[in-house]
A and B are shown apart, each in its own frame.
Chain A
Amino acid sequence: MSALITCEGVSVRFANEAVLEQVNLTVSEGEVVTLIGPNGSGKTTLIHVLMGLLKPNLGSVWRAPDLHIGYVPQKLAVDYTMPLSVARFLSLGSGTAKKFTDVVHTVGIEKLLNRQIHHVSGGEMQRILLARALLKQPSLMVLDEPAQGVDFQGQSELYHLIGEIKNAWNCAVLMVSHDLHFVMSATDRVICLNHHVCCSGQPESVALHPEYQRLFGSSKHNFAIYNHHHDHHHDLHGNVIGPKP
């Protein structure tokens, strides 16, 4: 598994306030990495640094030379003064007609194409943004809180869809999420960020980490949905420490 994107010792300051301190992160081919952290902990700043939108004050970022990033922003509010159909919005990106049909079918937005983009719901908008990112034939999908403003049922479907896309299109995924209970089962690695990397590793180990519990509490219901069978244990760093007895 070769690395797609790597940052080392990244520090960012806004007006003398440290937003990121000494952050190291690597996303490799086919991997799903989830960034969690409280509001204002620097998650969006970190993905902006990784995508090259923001130069860090310190540290370095490396991106694979042929890296195609498909980006799904937190939200997209198109000004109502601009008439814009969903189809025209998608065609502003790239991709062939065949690709277009495939993508539209995958995310299930056939019926939305002629709709004005101001008239779609939060969940529909996230699917449209996913489609736009997929049209770029990404080797890495970057999603910034993809389920924001989506209802409970919709969130579950959306994360399911992201998982399907990851498998079918064979791309790596880096996402920011508050909903650890939703993303747990689909995530290879969780990175808990609070200006610095508090802890990282496989989902269960992060959920048990004292730093994580200090930030998010250790409420039992967090564990309710993502429970799944594992045939091995992890230590606090996410290393596998042998099969289940």
Chain B
Amino acid sequence: MMEWSLDHFLVRALMGGLLIAVTAAPIGCFIVWRRMAYFGETLSHSALLGLALGFLLGIQPVLGVLAVGVAAGGVLIAMQRRRQLATDTLLGIIAHGSLALGLVVLSSQETLRIDLFAYLFGDILTVGKQDLAVIALGSLVSLGVLLFLWRPLLLMTISEELAAVEGVNRTLVTLLFTFLVALTVALSMKAVGILLVTSLLIIPSAAARKLSRTPEMMVVGAVIFAALSICGGLGAGLLWDLAAGPSIVVVATALFAVTYLVPGRV
């Protein structure tokens, strides 16, 4: 019989994973609605640079990732305003420029020994008490900001013009949303790794789309699918000794396939 205490690695993994699921799913819905999947991808690529800077400066890796993510988002917004290149081109430049820079910085540190594999594909089974505290705090901040942002962000997603007429401060909302995506990437990294972060954002939301009639229903559905993916991925990982992060994404994809293929109302 397993002890349900924070001293057990599986309890920490499960709690961390579920907190990440609840945080990532609503942000993921907005990413799906606003067609920003590649934006999420870009912030997760930039995360490696954040990690590198975190080690270099001796700060929490999560803070480094968050800072670089917000900076990348800010650079994107500034470049979009100049209207010279399309957004997907800009995202490609920022994503790969920052990924390459991150690798260069990491490789220049001869004394630095980090488990790159763990950051690329996640290592949720090694979540410690301090990690769990960071994830819990981050989730609380994220959900709080989202609650405050919910109506204006939803309105802006439906129509920028209507939102502007109704007095929504679009710049503020856009910046806060960028912050939320960066925060989610920084938190989710532990569960599924830099390369798979976007999947945790968009796949549960996509799975919930067909079963929903309102935006709120889709968010609840996405949270449920994300939580099921975490549980399923952890379970499969333990049972068959598989990598937990990729297993989570495989379960999410399978859930999506089921809702997508089963005929039913839209």
Question: Is A137 in the interface zone, CB < 8 Å from B?
Answer: no
Contacts of B215 in A (CB 8 A): 82-84, 88
Q: Are A73 and B209 in contact (CB under 8 A)?
A: no
Cα A69 to Cα B212 in complex, Å, equals: 32
Contacts of B213 in A (CB 8 A): 83, 85, 116
Cα A79 to Cα B36 in complex, Å, equals: 13
Q: Are A82 and B158 in contact (CB under 8 A)?
A: yes
Known: A92-B151, A116-B213. Is A84-B158 also a contact (CB below 8 A)? yes
> Scoring B residues 28 to 67 as 1 if CB is less than 8 Å from chain A, else 0, what string do you get?
0000111100000000000000000000000000000000
Closest chain B residue, CB of each to CB of A116: B213
Question: Is B157 in the interface zone, CB < 8 Å from A?
Answer: yes
Contacts of B209 in A (CB 8 A): 81, 83
Cα A136 to Cα B214 in complex, Å, equals: 22
Question: Is B143 in the interface zone, CB < 8 Å from A?
Answer: no
User: Which A residues, 193 to 217, have Cβ-Cβ distances below 8 Å to chain B?
Assistant: none
Q: What are 20 sample pairs from A and B whose C-beta atoms fall under 8 A apart?
A: A53-B165, A71-B162, A73-B162, A78-B158, A78-B159, A79-B34, A79-B157, A81-B32, A81-B209, A82-B33, A82-B215, A83-B212, A83-B217, A83-B218, A85-B213, A85-B214, A88-B215, A88-B216, A92-B158, A132-B162
Known: A53-B161, A73-B161, A81-B35. Is A88-B155 also a contact (CB below 8 A)? no
User: Which B residues, 203 to 225, have Cβ-Cβ distances below 8 Å to chain A?
Assistant: 209, 212-218
Contacts of B161 in A (CB 8 A): 53, 71, 73
> Scoring A residues 29 to 71 as 1 if CB is less than 8 Å from chain B, else 0, what string do you get?
0000000000000000000000101000000000000000101
Q: Are A76 and B155 in contact (CB under 8 A)?
A: no
Interface size class of chain B, counting residues whose CB lies under 8 Å from the partner chain:
20 to 34
User: Which A residues, 85 to 106, have Cβ-Cβ distances below 8 Å to chain B?
Assistant: 85, 88-89, 92-93
Chain A's nearest CB lies how many Å from the CB of B236?
29
Q: Are B154 and A53 in contact (CB under 8 A)?
A: no
Closest chain A residue, CB of each to CB of B208: A83
Q: Are A53 and B218 in contact (CB under 8 A)?
A: no
Contact among B151, B157, B162 for A82, CB-based, below 8 A: B157
B residues with a Cβ closer than 8 A to A are 32-35, 151, 154-155, 157-159, 161-162, 164-166, 209, 212-218, 266
Most buried by B among A71, A78, A81, A85: A81
Q: Are A79 and B165 in contact (CB under 8 A)?
A: no
Closest chain B residue, CB of each to CB of A70: B165
- Interface contacts (Cβ under 8 Å), in number, total 54
Q: Are B214 and A83 in contact (CB under 8 A)?
A: yes
Cα A83 to Cα B158 in complex, Å, equals: 11
Q: Are B32 and A92 in contact (CB under 8 A)?
A: no
Chain A's nearest CB lies how many Å from the CB of B135?
28
| A-B complex: 9 closest residue pairs judged by Cβ atoms | A83-B212, A71-B165, A82-B33, A88-B214, A53-B164, A73-B161, A81-B32, A81-B33, A83-B213
Contacts of B151 in A (CB 8 A): 92
Contacts of A88 in B (CB 8 A): 214-216
Contacts of A136 in B (CB 8 A): 166
> Scoring A residues 99 to 139 as 1 if CB is less than 8 Å from chain B, else 0, what string do you get?
00000000000000000100000000000000010001000
Contact among B155, B164, B212, B217 for A92, CB-based, below 8 A: B155
Cα A191 to Cα B218 in complex, Å, equals: 46
Contacts of B157 in A (CB 8 A): 79, 82
Chain A's nearest CB lies how many Å from the CB of B265?
10
Contacts of B266 in A (CB 8 A): 116
Contact among B34, B35, B159 for A73, CB-based, below 8 A: B159
Cα A51 to Cα B167 in complex, Å, equals: 10
Apart from A79-B34, A82-B158: 16 A-B pairs, beta carbons within 8 A: A69-B165, A71-B165, A78-B158, A79-B33, A79-B35, A79-B157, A81-B33, A82-B215, A83-B215, A83-B217, A84-B214, A85-B214, A92-B151, A92-B155, A93-B166, A116-B266
